[in-house]
Structure 1
């Protein structure tokens, strides 16, 4: 009994103070406390204070490798309840599959996590979600294999006009648009509304279209927000609302979520997708 009590205490100490969920990608902040990376990044976009002490704090973080290993060991050894373990494998699998920093996605690791999630799933919905995630990873692995084949064919072609490499790069961009386009379009803002500070939105991917929308008044607005070359860096980026604009522009003042945040800029509502 005392051993299980100790395990429960360790688990509580390895939950993010912001999300109150088990840590998956933990980082140590400047206040010395450990947080989930994405939750802390989102917090610091709108607040420059520690979530734990409420004192002023910067954005520098370092990976909490010890905390990550401890949580992983607890889950892998079956020390957590089924629901918590299921959520952990789903969260870690998604993180591994979507990692964009070097060395890129860990598809093999994501596959293993989703397979574990499938074995833990109890309801039909949980099983279908795990199966879907496994299919998505398999699709990504097939795409990676195609890229390897294109490089081999490019090498075999020698000096012939057989530019598969650049075509595959273009195809990758098109595939992203084909996959995410319908999902994003369903979240496209159709009217200007009073969004609370910290609401997450995403700007249009198409920089040319984003500029066009900024250089004309939105529907029922009196004025345009205008365009600045620095606003190009917002195209396709997730941002947080710093404040609602005014009725004459029907706009929002946004800050990029991913560091470096940089300056805040104004964007019309119809150039944005509401994420939450």
Structure 2
């Protein structure tokens, strides 16, 4: 029996802390539109991330870098409108907080003010800790993001496993502690060794949400289009398919085309 079976109220950052303390896992998925978010929310998802992965999933870009604050606000506003239960987090896109602390605070406030989301998410460690602290002090809850940080993909030179070596692992742990001290309520850990993710989870007060980080984190997140089998040709080790929406939609569209072509749709019962 979990939180969802005992309390149908809106999930908050306080709920996240309570779930971590109780040892109850947190289920998070991405969504970028009203209809999808409504389905996820009704299905009992704990949290929805309006990820800058919308750049890939919705716009067809090769990476997350092109998406803008205005575009993220458009997607986040639609998702927030659909959610009665899930805690909604919006990614701050590349360029929205890296230039200065003040710009980061302004953009975080704007995102929350114009969308109605519950929190923002930022990539980086000690180098953004002061900005995180300022955003939290301004009244905006923050989720950190460490490990594989897609906004820094050109620095990494690829999407491989991060923090395999001792020095990088030590830095990631130090970054997690810095974010924790700066006031984040959660930290996403992407594509890092399971043992390191477990250590981070033990060392910080914040909730940890893993993606390709093993099973010892406080929760998990996946891109809905990947988890539900909508995308083809993308199957990293950490991904499990929980449905085959691509097949279902393809068969439905094929049937629609067939019935239009043979004039069996619309029928008498579908006509006025």
Q: Judge same fold: TM > 0.5, yes or no.
A: no
TM-score (norm 1): 0.26
In the superposition, the TM-score normalised over structure 2's length comes to: 0.26
Greater Rg by CA:
1
